[in-house]
Structure 1
Amino acid sequence: MLAIHTLILAAVALQPVFAAPTLYATGKRDESDGSPSALSQSTISNDFQRPALFSRAAYCPISSVASWTCGPSCDALPGVVVLASGGNNGEIPDFFIAHDTATNSIVVAHQGTDPDDLLSDLNDVEIAKSNLNSTRFPGAGSDIEVHDGFQDTQGRTADIVLSTVTSALSSTGATEVSVTGHSLGAAVASLDAIMLKMHLPSSVAITTTVFGLPRVGNQDWANLVDSMLGSSFAHITNQLDPVPIVPGQFLGFQHPSGESHITSVASSGQADIEACPGQENEHCSDANSLLDFSIDNHLGPYFNGISFGAAAC
């Protein structure tokens, strides 16, 4: 996982250089020291498992995903009709939009950063921030900034995501959209969720569940996610995974609320997961260090035997 290592090493190298207090002055950051609370196994299965299975399927060859014949990853989700798919496993990471007939919802899923896909990884190393695109994110304040590379990647599929979801809601009668992804796919999914929230009728429920999410934007971005998505946004972090703590807060990046942190995974696949109140809870992934991390935790397993990456498809 060369590019993730590059991003981590760059962050470690930069911290001593930019440790002066004035460079931390990017506006007030919201920190939480609230005590996490354990999630039940039924909550994990009911709220997280289906999005995780869709995120896992996004790593499968896009030709087999389009026909929903991608083996165990597709077999685990019967009744799925893929409406649009694409990507080149590189500059445009693979993605699909589907009708989940079991829940009568429209699903948007994005491939993430895989160790075997260096080109996809390269999207992660641009640390510059930029304002949200005014066409895709109408009315977004000028103080809101996001990772430039993540926004560029999201922009390459934004039109087909928005048009396909809009059409599918009309043709299927669905009133819920589920947005998901892992790693880079989690970042793109987060941007998709805000875009869809801004463009779709308020009667459409948008649920966003992402895994191994890197920090996407600044404090104002985190506040926007909290205000627009609220409790319908969940990001699951896994033990000592370093990806959720990059880019660093010292560069002006901030996570929104909604973290659920995996503290351990048994050999049976059962995970202990805690709900972490507030943004950047000091008892959860925010407590992790770039000096002590596990890349394996980024790919999994997360819970119920679910891992991500091409090898997990």
Structure 2
Amino acid sequence: MLSPSVLIQILVLLAPAVVSVPLSDRSSGNSASTTAVSNATIDDDFVRPAQFSRIAYCSSAAVEAWNCGAPCQALGMNGVTPLVVGGDGGQTPRFFVSHDNKTQSIVVAHQGTDSSNVLSIINDAEFLDVGINTTLFPNAGSNVSVHDGFGKAQARTAQTILSTVQSGLSTYNVSKVLITGHSLGAAIATMDAVMLRMQLPTSVEMNTVVFGAPRGGNEAWADLVDATLGGNFTYITHKDDPVPLVPPQFLGYVHPSGEVHIVATDDASGNATQTISCPGRENENCSDGNSLLASSVSDHLGPYFANVSMSGSSCPL
């Protein structure tokens, strides 16, 4: 359950917009039937992105040396080469770009919110939406707006991400890119994916898998994500995680399509036991059917798949 202190924090962040508005703000009316996601799809498409997202919580020094303990070992100690590592874990969340030898791809991963760092929380607290940066997103329409804090956080690293991905594709003679992240990092990763798709040749295969994503922008932004990334975008939600419910729909925020929802997990193994694909946007049979009053903050951390939880607790000090 959502603790009273966390609920109060969310209400404070939303004030004064929260006036006679229910904490479950479903408005899409989308009740399309879900379908089960197979274990094979989870293993092939979701586990490795989750492992990369977890590593983004480790210190820059540990990631740069690829000596981040169990998270690095899960991907293979000699199979990943970091190309750039950055961020401060606060105003600029940690991120890294690497070459993944196993999949012959360039991987971009972003850290999520660090609850111990107030600057990171401020990024999340800026609920105003603003027009999108048309320099980074040249094909975006004038009606596209995004969460102000997410947009600013993404812009701080955008040029580094773009140039490193471009040089990595050339240096390693590969043509695939994976973009991933958790929480705030999921919002930044989604923006990165749209930017990269607009900037990279169409011959480059791109896939985006993010975890515990908040809503990132208005309906026009959701339209842009769907049109630009299509079926190569997945955002994974976990049980009663409250983060996918914010910023709320009554402020104009909308998730794009592509939700995969973890309904149940095995507490002993940390593996998902029931995972469903959620057609359309804001499907009330998935995370949109949750209420903040019945949410669990711990569900935001995971575990997602293969006992992967999103925090720095498994990283070396």
User: Could you report, residue by residue, the CA deviation over 1:220-257 in whole angstroms, capped at 9, with x for unpaired residues?
Assistant: 11111111101100000000000001000000000000
**C-alpha contact (below 8 Å) 1:12/1:290 kept by paired residues:** no
**After alignment, is 102-111 or 267-276 more displaced?**
267-276
Number of the residue aligned with 1:290? 292
For residues 61 and 179 of structure 1, what CA distance do their matches in structure 2 show?
Answer: 19
Distance 1:237 1:43, change over 3 A: same
**C-alpha contact (below 8 Å) 1:259/1:277 kept by paired residues:** yes
**C-alpha contact (below 8 Å) 1:62/1:94 kept by paired residues:** yes
Query: What TM-score do the two structures reach when normalised by structure 1?
Result: 0.93
**C-alpha contact (below 8 Å) 1:240/1:288 kept by paired residues:** yes
| Structure 2 residue 50 is the aligned partner of structure 1 residue 49 | no
**C-alpha contact (below 8 Å) 2:271/2:303 kept by paired residues:** no
Distance 1:2 1:95, change over 3 A: farther
For residues 262 and 51 of structure 2, what CA distance do their matches in structure 1 show?
Answer: 17
Number of the residue aligned with 1:270? 271
What fraction of aligned residue pairs are identical, expressed as a percent?
51
* 3-state DSSP of counterpart to 2:75: coil
**C-alpha contact (below 8 Å) 1:51/1:209 kept by paired residues:** yes
Number of the residue aligned with 2:69? 71
Number of the residue aligned with 1:304? 306
**C-alpha contact (below 8 Å) 2:181/2:189 kept by paired residues:** yes
Number of the residue aligned with 2:162? 162
Shift of 1:107: 0.2
User: Could you report, residue by residue, the CA deviation over 1:163-193 in whole angstroms, capped at 9, with x for unpaired residues?
Assistant: 0001111111111100000000000000000
Distance 1:34 1:161, change over 3 A: same
- Structure 2: segments with no counterpart, 5+ residues: none
For residues 97 and 210 of structure 1, what CA distance do their matches in structure 2 show?
Answer: 15
Equivalences, count: 306
**C-alpha contact (below 8 Å) 1:145/1:217 kept by paired residues:** yes
Number of the residue aligned with 1:186? 186
- Structure 1: segments with no counterpart, 5+ residues: none
Distance 1:161 1:84, change over 3 A: same
* 3-state DSSP of counterpart to 1:187: helix
**After alignment, is 283-292 or 8-17 more displaced?**
8-17
**After alignment, is 134-143 or 207-216 more displaced?**
134-143
User: Aligned runs of 1:103-252 on 2, under 5 Å?
Assistant: 103-252=103-252
Shift of 1:115: 2.6
4+ residue runs of structure 1 moved beyond 4 angstroms? Answer: 1-7, 11-16
Shift of 1:116: 2.5
**C-alpha contact (below 8 Å) 1:11/1:248 kept by paired residues:** no
Distance 1:114 1:4, change over 3 A: farther
Which amino acid is 1:176 matched to? K
Cα RMSD for the two superposed structures: 2.1
Distance 1:9 1:312, change over 3 A: farther
Query: What TM-score do the two structures reach when normalised by structure 2?
Result: 0.92
**C-alpha contact (below 8 Å) 2:106/2:165 kept by paired residues:** yes
**C-alpha contact (below 8 Å) 1:213/1:235 kept by paired residues:** yes
User: Could you report, residue by residue, the CA deviation over 1:199-234 in whole angstroms, capped at 9, with x for unpaired residues?
Assistant: 000111110000000000000111111111011000
User: Could you report, residue by residue, the CA deviation over 1:109-145 in whole angstroms, capped at 9, with x for unpaired residues?
Assistant: 0010133333212200001111111110002101111
* 3-state DSSP of counterpart to 1:68: coil
**C-alpha contact (below 8 Å) 2:131/2:146 kept by paired residues:** yes
